[in-house]
Amino acid sequence: MAREVKKSESSSYLMLADEFLELSKNGFEKKFYNASGFNAIQATINANDALCIYFLERRASADHREAIKLHVDVVRTINDSSQRQRISYVLEKRSEVGYLGKPISKSTAEKLLKDAIIFIEWTKKYIR
């Protein structure tokens, strides 16, 4: 069940997204691809949380399916589904990396980093 969160807290989640994005960039530069990819995933999740909090005053608490459902609810509000596949991909990778312990290749880390950058910028378009 999604947690209720005050709309004013969306900026804190967006700040976290930016911090994790910086860590991802730094990790990629140092060839720490697992850390880079994982931080890019976390940045994207925090940005999605910020978006859901801003529009719905809720964020996912149970699992990734809930995060996608909330994202879809926001998409209905803003009429922009351009990032739905991106958030789905990132959450799929979160399961692989975080729960199954799969290592992240350079190319996957690069894709996750690029996806995080795009997703965060898209999010900022709607909540700033």
Q: Which residue do the tokens 């209905």 mark?
A: 76
Residue bearing the bigger pLDDT, 27 or 99: 27
List the alpha helices (DSSP H) in 57-95: 64-78, 84-94
Number of domain units in the chain: 1
- The CB density around residue 113, as the number of other CB atoms within 10 Å, is 23
pLDDT at residue 23 in the model: 98
CATH of the domain at 121: 1.20.120.330
In this predicted model, what pLDDT tens digit does every residue of 64-94 receive, in sequence order? 889 999 999 999 999 999 999 999 999 999 8
Distance CA 111, CA 100 (A): 19
In this predicted model, what pLDDT tens digit does every residue of 38-55 receive, in sequence order? 999 999 999 999 999 999
Residue whose C-alpha is closest to residue 86's, from 101, 73, 71: 71
Q: Which domain holds residue 90?
A: 3-127
With 0.75 as the threshold, say if the pTM is over it: yes
